[in-house]
Each structure stands twice: as C-alpha cells, then as structure tokens.
Chains A and B, each alone.
Chain A
Amino acid sequence: ETGVTQTPRHLVMGMTNKKSLKCEQHLGHNAMYWYKQSAKKPLELMFVYSLEERVENNSVPSRFSPECPNSSHLFLHLHTLQPEDSALYLCASSQDGKGRDEQYFGPGTRLTVT
C-alpha cells in the first residue's frame, strides 16, 4: 500500500465518546500533519510533527490529543467533542515540511459529532 492512508473513513460519535483517528504514511517522510476542513472555511492546521516531535500546535482545544509514536504513524485522539467539531479531518505528510516541500494528503476521515 502506498501514499497516505487514514482510518476510519467515516466516524459518528456522541459527545461523551472517546475515539481515535489513525494516519499512516508509506513515503518515508519525516513530517506529518493534522488538518481540519470545514465547509466554507480554509483548511486549518491543527498539529505538526517533525521526526516524531510536535513542532506546531495551533491553539487546538485539549479535547483533541495527537500522538506520533514513529515517523510513519500519527493518531488524533478525540474525547468529549462538540457538534462544531464535525468536519473532514485530513492527515498529510512531507519530506521535511519546509520550503518548497510538497505535502501528500490522505483521503480524510469524515467526523460527525451527535
């Protein structure tokens, strides 16, 4: 399997649930990202990991908790979410994350919070 994969592709959860999103990249990249994509809004960068170290956290609420156990895997742990957190969550990876470096995106997880 190649590229960036994300599971699950669709997730419906209640506000009291705990769930996790998984991202895996098979490209040998050193940087990984979580984005939130909501309708009619620009993509919002949530977290960046470079060489498994978090290098950016864009004022994301603590109900979102990232984890990067190695350079190929990235998780987003979710707990006590709000309905406004419903969105498409995109994972991406890139070689080193700087300059003209291209980001490769996964297909996304469509999250619905009820």
Chain B
Amino acid sequence: AQTVTQSQPEMSVQEAETVTLSCTYDTSESDYYLFWYKQPPSRQMILVIRQEAYKQQNATENRFSVNFQKAAKSFSLKISDSQLGDAAMYFCAYRSGLGGGSNYKLTFGKGTLLTVNP
C-alpha cells in the first residue's frame, strides 16, 4: 500500500519570505498523481497544486511551486513571498494512476501546520 509522510508537523515563516514543506511517499507504481491541499482554520480544504508523475517539469501556481524528485519519491512544496493568508494545515496526497477502484483513493499525509508571522 502507498504511504505518504510529512516529516514536519509544524513550520513557521516570516511574512514575505519563502518556506518549503516536505513530503515523501512510498510506492512501487510508475504512474501516479501528487497533490498539495491546504486547510485553513475555517476548515474548508482546497487544492493548492498537483503534479503528474509522468511530467518531468515541476508544477507551479503563482507563488506555489513543487520540487518533484521521482527517483527520491519526494514532492516538496515551496511557498514564495508568504502571506498571512497562507497560514493553514497543508496536506500532501497521492493517487494511483492504475485502472480500477484504486484510482479513486487519495492517500494523505498527516499534514504540516504552517504559521505565518507578520
């Protein structure tokens, strides 16, 4: 079974600075998808960024980018120019690219709580 590990339970960053959140995963599959979700204190979880394993180019979404290292099974999230609104719990997630029922399942890490200091 796939597992997702976020080794940093908590992180903090100064406003306007850059922070990197770590995520590693364990899989024997070659086709899969990786996601970062954000859950602000209001509790509604939203997608931040996603990456297809077959793509070598790292995904970017405005101030958010990933460092995808397939061989190392690492998928870190970089937040540039941090803003107070970035404060949230961040979850890394994995989905298999295989056919069948396993495609539906997202496997989540335990999350990293990010604090942004003014």
A: residues with CB less than 8 A from B are 31, 33, 40-43, 45, 48, 50, 55-56, 58, 88, 90, 92, 97-100, 102-108
Interface residues on chain B, number (Cβ under 8 Å): 25
Write 14 A-B pairs (CB below 8 A) sorted by A numbering.
A31-B104, A42-B110, A42-B111, A43-B108, A45-B105, A45-B106, A48-B105, A90-B45, A98-B95, A99-B33, A100-B33, A100-B50, A102-B47, A105-B45
B: residues with CB less than 8 A from A are 4, 33, 35, 37, 42-47, 50, 52, 91, 95, 97, 101, 103-111
Contact B33 A56 (CB under 8 A): no
Contact A42 B109 (CB under 8 A): yes
Contact B42 A103 (CB under 8 A): no
Assembled-state Cα–Cα distance A41/B9 (Å): 11
Assembled-state Cα–Cα distance A103/B94 (Å): 12
